[in-house]
Structure 1
Amino acid sequence: MRHGPVVRRRKLGAELRALRTRAGITSGEAARLAGWHQSKVSRIETGTSGAKPGDVDLLLDVYGVADTQLREVLLALAGSEDDGGSRQHWWHPYRGVLPPAYRDFISLESQAGTMRTLETTVVPGLLQTPEYAREVTRAAMDGLPEERIDALVQVRLTRQDVLRSATPLRLSAVLDEAVLRRRVGEPGVMARQLERLVDAARLPHVRLQVLPFAAGAHIGVTGPFVIFSFSSTSDLDVVVLDHLTSSLYLERKEDLEAYTEAFKALQGHALSPDDSLDLLAATAAGA
């Protein structure tokens, strides 16, 4: 049986349950109309088991869902991994070196419309140069064979395609000033990384702000976080907290609201995008 990322299954199940309720159909009726046993509908709605795109397509027909964009999003959730070999995402060949939590993260990133992130120690992965990515990966995973480091760096660089697609991911990032000041690798590595940030800050779909040391203590001292938002429905939004050996996914409305307000507060304390660009350019020039 095909299993997509756990967070995706729960999100998909919750959305399908809401659509069924809105259509005034019981789970038993849905199962009968789909030609299934009721337990299958229950497993899908609770996220206990994954749903193939064909299953989701059938349920959406049963619920009378005509919204093309919503159907596409839900079908994408169902196809967030491979579906029995007929469809694979670009990260599938790297499954052997990618922890499940990282695959979940990439799946979210590849389907989101907007990504908001606070970084307190390193440059966001979507904006890293190859050299910087290699140094960070080597430091974070000390003792890892060079070939595995090569694979992880390639994954990080391929992830950046979401910023170059026809409909690019909208990225808003608040970077603690420590990210700019912390030397990673040789001086040339950091200089080129800072230049990359300057180029990124000029992209229309990227908003970079620097949180200066002068801002003092702030809500972000508790650690970095990412908020993924999806174009069709906010019900799919999720907060990701990254830890050394695992990631925590927060989906409750209260958590989303709290982190959204925290990010707005951080943006208010940070330099404006124009002033941040000036600081980035000056730091790059002096690196």
Structure 2
Amino acid sequence: MRHGPAVRRRKLGEELRGLRLGAGLTSREAARLVGWHQSKVSRIETGTSGVKPADVVRLLDAYDVTDARLRELLEALAGSAGGGGTGWWHAYRGVIPPQYRDFISLESQASAARTLETSVVPGLLQTPDYARAVTRSALDGVPAATVDSLVEVRLARQEVLHAERPLTLSAVLDEAVLRRQVGGRGVMRGQLARVLEQAQLPHVRLQVLPFSTGGYAGLTGPFVIFSFPATSDLDVVVLDHLTSSLYLERKEDLEAYGAAFRTMQAHALSFQDSLDLIAGIADGA
């Protein structure tokens, strides 16, 4: 288990090494092509040092990589792996902790996310009022200005669902998420209406695990699986805790969480039945 930048560096390095080998180059030959010492190429490929997006571009040019989507992804990964970057979230670096910035960076680069939520509505689907209520509850005593900034960040994150190439979101929600009166009845009524509205997007699929399911694989805590375009080798599982996040990147971890998510989808209500349940709860809210 590693923190976000370390995961990004290692996975970026592995991908660059694979591209170098695919181009039929040794690390010494690659270094000579870009005017570096061989040790720099080795450090990048082993993930022991960060790499600037501009340096990734030089390597990709040397390896004759023309896939625009892959180039874009690897350049972005360099920014989130300790090699700089200018994502919008950097404007909030004095407000949000590094692990949250790492999470947002992953989310902004991913092509798909599979998430299990056991207590709150996924951040990408939250209304401003609900987001403010959740933030105040989780960070009791934080100044109002800080809460406002955190809500701004939450709402800005939601742009990934409305981008030219939107994130594909598959969410499984415990029924408790829908029935917990976060912020009061009026806030919840508005929040459930937003969930129903966003569920109509073609790239959003929601399912509810009803109380009648009993115990299930993810009952002990929420998680997110991020998948990336062009290669599955960059996929990562994120486990969110109160003061930190853990990133799982081993193949066996990805397989275990992927299997658990598929099992929960199989036991959850169908898409339409889930929407019907949400609408029914909203009517009684």
TM superposition score normalised by structure 1: 0.94
* 1:162 corresponds to: 160
* 1:260 corresponds to: 258
* 2:243 corresponds to: 245
Structure 2 residue 41 is the aligned partner of structure 1 residue 44: no
Q: Relative to structure 1, is the Cα distance of residues 48 and 142 closer, same or farther in structure 2, using a 3 angstrom cutoff?
A: same
Q: Relative to structure 1, is the Cα distance of residues 252 and 82 closer, same or farther in structure 2, using a 3 angstrom cutoff?
A: closer
* 2:101 corresponds to: 103
Structure 2 residue 193 is the aligned partner of structure 1 residue 190: no
Q: How big is the shift at 1:92?
A: 1.4
Aligned-partner Cα distance in 2 for 1:46–1:212:
45
Task: Give the alignment of 1:1-287 within 5 angstroms.
Answer: 5-80=5-80, 88-287=86-285
Are the equivalent residues in 2 in contact too, given 1:80–1:107 (CA < 8 A)? yes
Instruction: Give structure 1 stretches of 5+ with no counterpart.
Output: none
Q: How big is the shift at 1:102?
A: 0.5
TM superposition score normalised by structure 2: 0.94
The superposition leaves residues 207-240 of structure 1 with CA deviations (integer Å, 9 ceiling, x where unpaired) of: 0000000001110112110001112111111110
Q: How big is the shift at 1:271?
A: 0.2
Aligned-partner Cα distance in 2 for 1:167–1:77:
17
Q: In the comparison of the two structures, how many residue pairs are matched?
A: 282
Please give the root-mean-square deviation of Cα atoms over the aligned residues, in Å. Answer: 1.7
Q: How big is the shift at 1:21?
A: 2.5
Q: How big is the shift at 1:59?
A: 1.0
Q: How big is the shift at 1:48?
A: 2.2
Q: How big is the shift at 1:80?
A: 3.8
Question: After the TM superposition, which of the residue ranges 8-17 and 111-120 deviates more from structure 2?
Answer: 8-17
The superposition leaves residues 174-199 of structure 1 with CA deviations (integer Å, 9 ceiling, x where unpaired) of: 00000011111121011111111111
Question: Per the alignment, in what secondary structure is the counterpart of residue 15 of structure 1?
Answer: helix
Question: Per the alignment, in what secondary structure is the counterpart of residue 220 of structure 1?
Answer: coil
Aligned residue identity for 2:79: G
Question: Per the alignment, in what secondary structure is the counterpart of residue 92 of structure 1?
Answer: helix
Instruction: Give structure 2 stretches of 5+ with no counterpart.
Output: none
Dislocated runs of 4+, deviation >3 Å: 79-84
Aligned-partner Cα distance in 2 for 1:147–1:278:
38
Identity %: 71
Q: How big is the shift at 1:74?
A: 1.1
Aligned-partner Cα distance in 1 for 2:81–2:283:
43
Are the equivalent residues in 2 in contact too, given 1:82–1:88 (CA < 8 A)? no
Are the equivalent residues in 2 in contact too, given 1:82–1:89 (CA < 8 A)? no
Aligned-partner Cα distance in 2 for 1:240–1:135:
24
